[in-house]
Amino acid sequence: MKPPKQIVSRILDVGLAKSTWREKHLDAYNDLLTYREDIILSFESIEPIEYHFFTSSQAHWRVNSSLYECIRSQKSADKRLKNFIVKGCNVFKVPGPSNSNYDIDNFTPQVEGTEWIHYEEY
């Protein structure tokens, strides 16, 4: 995950670019510039953890990278059922992108690291 360089620059350079402080305290200003580079490098070393959400009821399941959209879609599909009453769904957080392939057993994703979040009642 990279922070936008302009944000890091803005945090550290506010008031310094047009002030005489920089000329008076050149060592401190150079330390700030080094610190800014250290912050940028530390963000570049963080590997993002990719995951998605999986909802399932007795009728079917849905997958989406947005928790809100996943639950909304599941609820909408469950409400359209004519001969089957569904009162809620299980919500899981699954490692990996939403387009990844994996087994689903008894409406539960079979992926190592999957977390059950809660039962969404509607």
On whether the CB atoms of residues 5 and 44 are closer than 8 A, the answer is no
Q: If DSSP codes are grouped into helix, strand and coil, which group holds residue 95?
A: strand
User: Each residue of 40-76: pLDDT tens digit?
Assistant: 777 777 666 799 999 999 888 999 999 999 999 999 9
On whether the CB atoms of residues 45 and 8 are closer than 8 A, the answer is no
| pTM above threshold 0.85 | no
With tokens 């963000």, the residue in question is: 43
On whether the CB atoms of residues 44 and 72 are closer than 8 A, the answer is no
- Per the DSSP assignment, residues forming a β-bridge with 55 are 62, 91
